[in-house]
A and B are shown apart, each in its own frame.
Chain A
């Protein structure tokens, strides 16, 4: 399966098992979403379980909250992560706090799915990676898979979670793995081990990272598209790097990454988003608290620039293999 099919399968499996799961969003009903993640669900489950929403992201999030309060399990699609901001107030002030402010009398287990990230020549309004904003909101979990297998297992976990989840889908990986080279043919998930996805129900736990490449000289912590880029860069540089796919940003798996950094003594943290106050900054801060005495070099960040995502020069913005290789040299030579 590619990532689109895997996500579609996760929705199909959960809707089939649980009649309270509903899916909606802009163009997400009859047509099945502009990326086709919700394809065929309306035909299979009916108009009231997979439907088109008016173009109002605040109302979409708020509707999900109301439905969840009534006991449904809403999965709302925001067409692009760049368009989630009109819904931000409903997420920050409402969705995240309902359990807390009602002392558990109400809970709103909403899943918000949204494609993120660049690499598709989408310009500044179809390329953002706004995940760090959401890690600043106590009460929501934040997830970003990097392959079809995890996408399906994590989405099922998200829908079944008792708490709200913001589920970021790196759209550059929808149709195939991507190692960060702008040119060349599109690769296929068909030949990738993580493209092998079981048809039925299974879960990948929220809160667990995975070592996707073992190594002893440096630890690279990444999530989403950059996991594959980091792996490819380590191969190319011939560096014995351990690459960790974080998968969940909140709550992140400090145990797995700290164990690796304590072993390697060197660390690179990566994100596609702009550099300042990105999630990599949180990782670097926490890792220096946990691993300071094991560190042999300052932790390096590989990030996008502190600019909007450019259109024509998208590949000068995207943190590709070159930037990873430079960072590996920097930490190894320090």
Chain B
């Protein structure tokens, strides 16, 4: 039977289902306070930045402090558009999954700024090794929505030939590597790619994203060792959305004060950023990209955010966290914050915002109609059956040829 007290420490979140959401224990450095050092700063001198929180948008939705990237209103509106599109797309895809149109789906709701501002701060030419929750990068890079949907419904136009689960995109043309279902594997790969960039001398850099839960994997630590040892031109983003399926961030962090602080242990420049602040994520990414390009090495960026929805369509968060936690998230919603900032600048208004949402909703609905013309998972057409034997190797050997015959295709 249960002991009175556990015999060793097992961390538990402050609140559980039935409790009132409560983030009062979080100590968050106010926007505008963090200093912005030169991008050549030695890694260890970023200690305050790894333990603090880089924020630009304050409570009044104004851009404050040294990290303000001072973006033109057009750029801000573009970012807002990509984030709204990401959310609208996610919402629609979830509905379609519920209707049986695809086998599985994963939303990025609440985390749109991480991917969109990260991608925009980086630029389109750099290589990205994302996890499964950065679909916003694809929108920021202008990928065709119909193509994205064709992948998710595994139809005849799926560029991955029905081989991957939905949302596990690949888009070589957009410098977007293959998303793996195996956590953390992309992190050291990105370092290798970045070293390849140095080797080739073409000036390209690489960036990767990993969930905070996945930082427990050996591959995370391997990536940091490599990046530090070889001063790789790479940006290593830890998306701390507080949850790894049902386990809260404390299971991965233990006694570590922040996830960014883990980078310090490897001597890497390490920043902790308000992940729901478009401007802060943009600015931190720009900083890290400049550092990489100038040969000063890698940066670890923890984006502090909240997974507002379920882990995936296979998950129901009501079993492990209080309902309504996302509404209590102290750093708000990334879309609302950028929108209010633009309104404050006199560069946006509610009517334009409503019109944007309507336009993007219609775009997504029309795109899905078009995508379905290339087939659906259930009714086909799919990629030809014989394609399951292709791309295992460059050439099919006798085994695969014979097996294909056995299948009668």
Contacts and interface: CB of A to CB of B under 8 A. Distances in A.
Interface of A: 26-27, 29-31, 34, 43-49, 51-56, 58-59, 82-83, 85-86, 121-126, 275-276, 305-308, 310-313, 316-317, 323
Nearest to A15: B1
Contact of B182 (A34, A52, A125, A306): A125
Chain A's interface: helix, strand, loop or mixed, by majority? loop
25 contacts: A26-B244, A26-B245, A29-B10, A44-B1, A46-B1, A46-B2, A49-B2, A52-B247, A52-B251, A54-B252, A55-B216, A55-B217, A123-B181, A124-B163, A124-B165, A124-B181, A125-B182, A305-B407, A306-B403, A307-B389, A311-B162, A312-B154, A312-B162, A313-B387, A316-B385
Interface string B339-358: 00000000000000000000
Contact of B163 (A305, A308, A316): A308
B159 interface: no
Contacts, number: 142
B382 interface: yes
Contacts of B219: 86
B28 interface: no
A53 B245 CA distance: 12
A315 to B, nearest CB: 10
B319 A31 contact: yes
A125 B389 CA distance: 17
**Closest A-B pairs by Cβ, 5 of them:** A312-B162, A125-B181, A54-B216, A31-B246, A46-B2
A276 B399 contact: yes
Given A53-B251, A124-B164, 12 more contacts: A30-B246, A31-B246, A31-B319, A34-B245, A48-B8, A49-B3, A54-B251, A56-B217, A122-B165, A305-B403, A305-B407, A311-B165
Interface in B376-409: 377, 382-383, 385, 387-389, 392, 399-400, 403, 406-407, 409
A58 B183 CA distance: 13
A58 B181 contact: no
A123 B6 contact: no
Q: Which of B10, B162, B387 has the most CB of A within 10 A?
A: B10
Interface string B38-51: 00000000000000
Given A124-B181, A311-B165, A316 B217 contact: no
A56 B385 contact: no
A82 B214 contact: no
A125 B165 contact: yes
Given A26-B247, A34-B314, A305-B400, A311 B164 contact: yes
A123 B164 contact: yes
A269 B183 CA distance: 34
B400 A307 contact: yes
B252 A55 contact: yes
A48 B217 CA distance: 22
B12 interface: yes
B103 interface: yes
Contacts of A47: 6, 10, 12
A126 B182 CA distance: 10
A26 B251 CA distance: 10
B171 interface: no
Contact of A82 (B163, B181, B246): B181
A51 B3 CA distance: 14
A305 B217 contact: no
B333 interface: no
Interface string B1-21: 111001110101000100000
Contacts of A83: 182-183
B175 interface: no
Contacts of B181: 82, 123-126
B322 to A, nearest CB: 13
B218 interface: yes
A85 B164 CA distance: 19
B216 A59 contact: yes
A74 B168 CA distance: 34
Given A27-B247, A305-B400, A55 B388 contact: no
